[in-house]
A = this chain, B = another copy of it.
């Protein structure tokens, strides 16, 4: 009898001390994403001359600036809306697997820094659904982490971290971001 009770107690102890047992409000750190993706997106900002190719446009600007050229002081105060193609590799002309849609804003005078709110709207054979992002993007850092705040479809209710890298930057018209998405909550 004592043996069985001990066995049950050990099971119980195992359950409560196991790193995989969940207690809401006291989650343990996990370093293994449940899903990972690497994608690129390409932003061509409207500059007054490229309306055909532009995928983004300045729609808000501070009092001292206008909407056909990024503002001085590291573009502080510029708000840009975009609809950028997403590709699997770093080639602007590769077949898009979806669109990156939303906005970014430049929010620091002394250095390039942005804030992002956008979605990946994916529609390929591999992925159908959206991933929603928000967070600060200190552009001068080689890699920057923003939050995956939710998702739909294949990414239903997901959460995670997206590591953003500037993969190319040409003049003040084109840039390409590489996004390493690591999802730690998958449903």
* Interface, chain A (partner B; CB < 8 A): 1, 3-5, 7-8, 11-12, 15, 20-30, 32-34, 46, 48, 51, 57-64, 66-68, 76-79, 81-83, 99, 101-103, 105-109, 113, 115, 117-119, 121, 130, 132, 134-136, 138, 145-153, 156-157, 159-161, 184-187
Separation of A109 and B53 alpha carbons in the complex (Å): 11
Contact of A20 among B26, B32, B66, B78 (CB under 8 A): B26
New A-B pairs, 15, CB < 8 Å, besides A21-B23, A59-B105, A156-B161: A4-B8, A8-B11, A25-B34, A26-B186, A27-B185, A57-B76, A57-B77, A60-B81, A62-B67, A63-B67, A76-B81, A101-B113, A132-B134, A150-B159, A184-B187
Provide the bound-state CA to CA distance between A133 and B124, in Å. Answer: 25
CB-defined contacts of A26 to chain B, threshold 8 Å: 20, 34, 186
Residues of B within 8 A of A151 (CB): 147
Integer count of this chain's copies in the complex: 3
State the main secondary structure of chain A at its contact with B: mixed
Q: Which of A33, A66, A78, A83 has the most CB of B within 10 A?
A: A83
Q: A1–B6 Cα gap in the complex (Å)?
A: 12
Residues of B within 8 A of A66 (CB): 63
Contact indicator A60/B60 (Cβ below 8 Å): yes
- Flag if A59 contacts B83 (CB, 8 Å): no
Closest to A121 in B: B136
Complex alpha-carbon distance, A21 and B159, angstroms: 19
Question: Which interface residue of A28, A66, A107, A121 has the most chain B CB atoms within 10 A?
Answer: A107
